[in-house]
Structure 1
Amino acid sequence: MDSYRCGLCGYVYNPRAGEPGQGIEARTEFGDLPDTWACSRCGAEKNLFRKA
């Protein structure tokens, strides 16, 4: 399970933890996030994330 870092603010999406506050369950791979998903810290679009 790979983590991905936001290119704007540096937030790291950790698939092992998911994002319960956004309804994303633990162990959800980055590629399985909906295309409309955005950084929970700064709102950056998913396409601005890169493998950490």
Structure 2
Amino acid sequence: MMRYMCLLCGYTYDPEKGDPKGGLVPGTDLATAPREWVCPRCGADQDKFAMRDDDDDE
């Protein structure tokens, strides 16, 4: 699955891990996440995320 990075704070959303605190179970792609989900670090909306094109682990 493709990972996504918040363009405002640099947080990387990894669909394999999800965001359990934010209500996204592992395996949830950001493209199918509820629109009310926001960046857990800075609160940015999903439209502030971009797909990452690398495979670097964080």
* TM-score, length of structure 2 as denominator length: 0.85
* TM value normalised by structure 1: 0.95
State whether structure 2 residue 36 is matched by structure 1 residue 36.
yes
Q: Which has the larger radius of gyration?
A: 2
Q: Which has the higher contact order (CA 8 A, sep 6+)?
A: 1
Q: 1 CA distance for matches of 2:34 and 2:43?
A: 14
Moved over 3 A (4+): none
Q: Give the RMSD, CA atoms, in angstroms.
A: 0.6
1:20-31 map, 5 Å: 20-31=20-31
- Corresponding residue of 1:49: 49
Using the TM superposition, give the Cα deviation of residue 36 of structure 1 relative to its aligned residue in structure 2, in angstroms. Answer: 1.3
Percent pairwise identity: 40
In structure 1, runs of 5+ residues without a counterpart are none
Unaligned segments of structure 2, at least 5 residues:
53-58
